[in-house]
Structure 1
């Protein structure tokens, strides 16, 4: 299996190093055969090549069985024009691979219930999956830009736009996954004030009635969904939403689990498409190089890569179980608070590998 590792910026190299150690351990302890390559993305790619994602790296991604990424971004590149910022490399990679569905699980491990800012009884046993449309909406819509008006004022504008086909394909992913889980989909938008949201609601409702009558479908405005996530999060099973709201709501859901450092993600497309697997957190440049970043979200992203990209659910189960046992044994990085064993990135990786 060919894996392309894209460490990126900030803490990216540190957390990717631990993810690679987990994969290499599995390769010595199973029949998994790996070919691991490395590439540049984000600010690292800009510094080396003058662009946040090169055509060569995109082509290497297309030829891989899975892509595992760290994180991109940082103040160093904040003055770059948008098309040369590190984040554009990630957007271009998602679009170049046609990865239209982002799967973002929010699972609260039993031993981390007290680390959440919510009462433990609200989050213990939490298991939500956010299905976010990934290559449409306001992040990709045209026209967009900043212009100077005749009266001298400046105007910034972005376009939120969706086609029926874009809504249909990501909704099918949500419905199909819900059939394997709790059988519920909550579709989230702002149809009360946005035409793109109204189209979203109408098309999801139409598809649900026509082909997924065995899945309980509900609809919710995005602002209410944010409130409900911190009020009664266990009411949700699968949340289906657009690019912008998925970005926001998954970060809200992250705090239910105790830390952004615990949430993995998978970006998937049509059958046969290379998947992209990455933690949902950022590059955290303020702690980069200190060896204290939590690698769990990246290691859990490896589990998603094994399950979805490499069709090795058996190994994915082992990785997820090892992470849970490590947390149960009291291992904590700084973002998770005090524990029996307070460790850094390497120490957490060591503990997870020992439990493998």
Structure 2
């Protein structure tokens, strides 16, 4: 992990969208439940439902947060990375070193986010949850950067398509014991066999399979590669802003249509990270980026965007802090008198707002001092 200022000009829309993505897991997802209590309006109940993960099959807005982050990591690759042959030998060594270090750190930090082994020292290695959100981000980014460095663009496309189709056929056609063979249940999907036989340590809540388990890493790579393709297209076409927006918007709609049609055959499922889920999240991610790019980088309406960019520039820091630091306790310590003096719905709303404010002020303090902690 290093601390440094950004080295090159960045697209504000990408940083703002990353910050917007993180905003919802900093505590903002609770706004709609509080607003429903205050107003009784059913629209807020609907929005609140969208701020919870689908129980198994299906899709909600909250299910997009994780794949959107992976997609944006791919966009950054597409905007900056080149085939490895374009770099000098010394530069290549540094790039490889950085890639392996980043992968290792994200896996390690993911274990920290999961509170390590959970039983204290001395460690019981069988009680460690090795897989995590950060670990999956690291794996998807690592594979994507390797593909960009070493393969032609045509082959990058072929591998991405092959992963989606291959993963579908794998879950649909392969049977191992009682698992697989088109079974997409939480107890008998093929992923369960892989996690029970090949995944060390424990699974999330000791379930039969882990939502960040072994097999579902494969399609998440395509989320990163889709970001690469979009980032590369932005870099090549940003001088034609209107055309870029139209093409990204059209691509997003088309991918969504294909994803939802595929979902009639292969269930849309985040825990299994099915190919249909992958396409749907790529479609929504592309649409969001197209909208943010139009408003922020083309129309230059940027004041609001900088609020989210402050979060996006130190996204890993704030993500980790939500696990290892009790922001709500701090907010209640400072604003508890005000929070307790208002009715129940308003108290929840004020506490959420205060928690978000403290987190944002911390990130803004880092931002103003050009402290950007990157992995």
Please give the TM-score of this superposition, normalised by the length of structure 2: 0.29
Please identify which structure carries the higher helix content.
Answer: 2
Q: Which has the larger radius of gyration?
A: 2
Which structure shows the higher strand fraction?
A: 1
TM-score, scaled relative to structure 1:
0.30
- Give the structure, 1 or 2, with the largest relative contact order (CA under 8 Å, sep 6 or more): 2
